Structure 1
């Protein structure tokens, strides 16, 4: 059993904590709010591991250091609101770098594909980070800073990049989450951003967690980015059709929201302005090559049938619990 520290308890952080605990590890989840109201601060997993929640300010390098002493890995699974990336990310990233330097824990960053930028329709890990979009530039700078310190021998770092995620635990903002499943199962119109007919890589949350854990434990993986092994690219429409068929729901009716309308909404809504800025991801192919990570990390992707079945089961369980 090793000690692992996860900063952030969103869908990726929660899924990773469960994955590590199921493998028998001692997991400490750090977040601004600590354990969710009405839930225990420490739980045991069937695999023999434990998950303990702590209330910690992610910009506090001293606090991160205290919790990370003796840890094998420190995972960055934070995800500020889109319109706050420029202000909220840098102090968190700096604090994590400091804690990793002080403790020797491997810094494992849960990244995304924004840094490659528009026009790169089949992304590889060694492609330049050429985005002109602000959020992608923030993430590119974070990785550049971590890599510089890794190359200087100050710490050990690795980044694992996933695409838009789906699966148990995906929240309302996920493109293939409740915002798709609720109207789909009710027979209502689905309204994706931009287009429903461009090939797109979708990352299953448990596969994301498995790749993060594998990268943390493998010295050969450190010092470079990896793409999460993901099932074959599908269009939004194809994904919706798979969910509808599995659920016994009517064939999906899909009416995309034009980017021009998203842009107009962004005049008054900062979040919509940021959604428009990455709208290129849904109006052209957006595919991540994962051949290198499959070969080195030794993880694979869950097939679409299982992705759909497990996601539907989790969503229905949550709906019953809420009712």
Structure 2
């Protein structure tokens, strides 16, 4: 199907007779890049939007009403969602915090959706699919064995099962690895963000984790937001998992070349060779937090990983952004937000050690060794 941009102004909604939907109250839990893009898209379509921060991994959306409180507290969430037509769960954070942070929030939102009658729209990532060379459909087994994958599977099952038992209406919008404004790293669902766009702007080496020549599905955050809104609006989407549309699969090398070209950069492109993936990455992650973050999804980065979204397209149509346009918008954001100055490597190493070890002579020796190791990878 040809790629086309989304439609969604308030006038468009009114012209199609969807005034009630356009003026509804929509509450978003999570203020990461997807949550922010969703808030702005909903507001542009004439809806009342409330954003609720879930943790520190995000920022207040400009021009959007923000309500602060404990997202795991039923009374607070009930107040935030009073009169809501749709509740969105757009959670972000380091993978080692998913198990402790995500389930309590989603469990509470299920109760709130049941109490208010609002539709619950949950965004997640396709990290639960294991190695496969075939296009991945919603029927592909959830066979990934990592802890983060188990969390995503558990949450999706809860929402779908509660819908089919008649407790409320819920739906899952599942996307590929994302990129776009604000998606700087794996804590925001992006293995492609800051590690590519900042080096391109700085004319420094670009390092891509995984196989740079195999095609991957890559989801622009505005397309993810559009897909979630479509699922919220559709009366027939509930009780299912849907792969959200994205532009055609593209290899990282092709996408990086487009970034370098648009940035007019002299940056060189490299990747992590196969022989340093796996065990060596476990050693590197003490000085490379982003390596630790993507460890659980190396199966998706090390080979062809294509999400088939034909079910969504057949049911609702397809609205996606051309890669060149998506890169231009993303570059504009990164140009306006320079890379933060990193802490010295030795300090990052010591921060990750237990307090007793951090104050020992061992820590001093490890810091100097980590510095030598980091020079080979940073």
The two structures have a TM-score, normalised by structure 1, of: 0.89
Matched, 1:286 2:299: no
Shift of 1:42: 8.2
Tell me the equivalent position of 1:129.
142
Change in Cα spacing, 1:265 to 1:33, as seen in structure 2 (3 Å) is: closer
Distance in 2 (alpha carbons) for counterparts of 1:272 and 1:256: 11
Aligned residue number for residue 205 of structure 2: 189
CA distance, structure 2, for counterparts of residue 269 and residue 42 of structure 1: 31
Partners in 1 of 2:272 and 2:62 — Cα distance? Answer: 43
Question: Match for 2:183 among 142, 148, 170?
Answer: 170
Aligned length: 311
Contact 1:117 1:136 (C-alpha < 8 Å) held by counterparts: no
Give the conservation status (yes or no) of the 8 Å contact 1:82–1:274: yes
In structure 1, the partner of 2:14 is none
2:246 aligned with 1:230? yes
Unaligned ranges ≥5, structure 1:
44-50
Matched, 1:60 2:82: no
Quote the offset at 1:71 in angstroms: 0.5
Deviation at 1:309, TM superposition (A): 1.8
1:144 aligned residue (142, 157, 161): 157
Bigger radius of gyration among the two:
2
State the distance in 1 between where 2:293 and 2:54 align.
24
> What's 2:256 paired with?
240
Q: CA deviation at 1:33?
A: 6.8
Please give the alpha-carbon distance, in whole angstroms, between the structure 1 residues aligned to 2:34 and 2:282: 28
Q: Take 2:299 and 2:185, find their aligned partners in 1: how far apart are those partners?
A: 21
* Equivalent residue, structure 1, for 2:337: 318
Give the Cα–Cα distance (whole angstroms) in 1 for the partners of residues 154 and 101 of structure 2: 14
Match of 2:89 in 1: 76
Query: Corresponding residue for 1:26?
Result: 48
Change (3 A) 1:42 1:79: closer
For 2:35, what is the secondary structure of its paired residue?
Answer: helix
Aligned with 2:245: secondary structure?
Answer: coil
Q: Check whether the contact 2:210–2:303 (CA below 8 A) recurs between aligned residues.
A: no
Identify the match of residue 249 of structure 1 among 252, 262, 265: 265
Shift of 1:256: 2.1
1:183: Cα distance to partner? 1.1
Tell me the secondary structure at the aligned position of residue 191 of structure 1: strand
Choose 311-320 or 65-74, whichever is displaced more.
311-320
Distance (whole Å) between structure 2 residues aligned to residue 279 and residue 12 of structure 1: 22
RMSD: 2.5
- Residue in structure 1 matched with residue 16 of structure 2 by the alignment: none
Matches of 1:271 and 1:316, distance apart in 2: 21
The structural deviation recorded for 1:70 is 1.0
Correspondence list, 1:9-24, <5 A: 9-24=31-46
Asked whether the 8 Å contact 1:196–1:235 carries over to 2, the reply is yes
Going from structure 1 to structure 2, the CA distance change for 1:126 and 1:255 (only over 3 Å counts) comes to: closer
Paired residue for 2:233?
Answer: 217
**SS of corresponding position for 2:128:** helix
Of 151-160 and 119-128, deviating more is 119-128
Structure 2: tracts of 5 or more residues without a match = 1-22, 342-378
SS at match of 2:336: helix
The offset of 1:105, in angstroms, is 0.6
Residues 122 and 173 in structure 2, CA contact (< 8 A), matched pair in contact too: yes
Q: State TM-score, norm by structure 2.
A: 0.76
Which residue of 167, 173, 190 maps to 1:160? 173
Asked if 2 retains the 8 angstrom alpha-carbon contact of 1:198 and 1:235, the reply is: yes
Task: State the 1:171 CA deviation.
Answer: 2.2
How far off is 1:80 after superposition? 2.8
Residues 1:306 and 2:325 are matched in the alignment: yes
Alpha-carbon contact 1:201-1:230 (below 8 Å) kept: yes
The answer as to whether partners of 2:132 and 2:305 remain within 8 angstroms in 1 is no
1:265 pairs with one of 284, 287, 304: 284
Q: Please state whether the residue corresponding to 2:67 is helix, strand or coil.
A: strand
Q: How does 1:79-118 map to 2 (within 5 A)?
A: 79-118=92-131
2:132 is equivalent to residue 119 of structure 1:
yes
Separation of aligned partners in 1, 2:133 and 2:84: 37
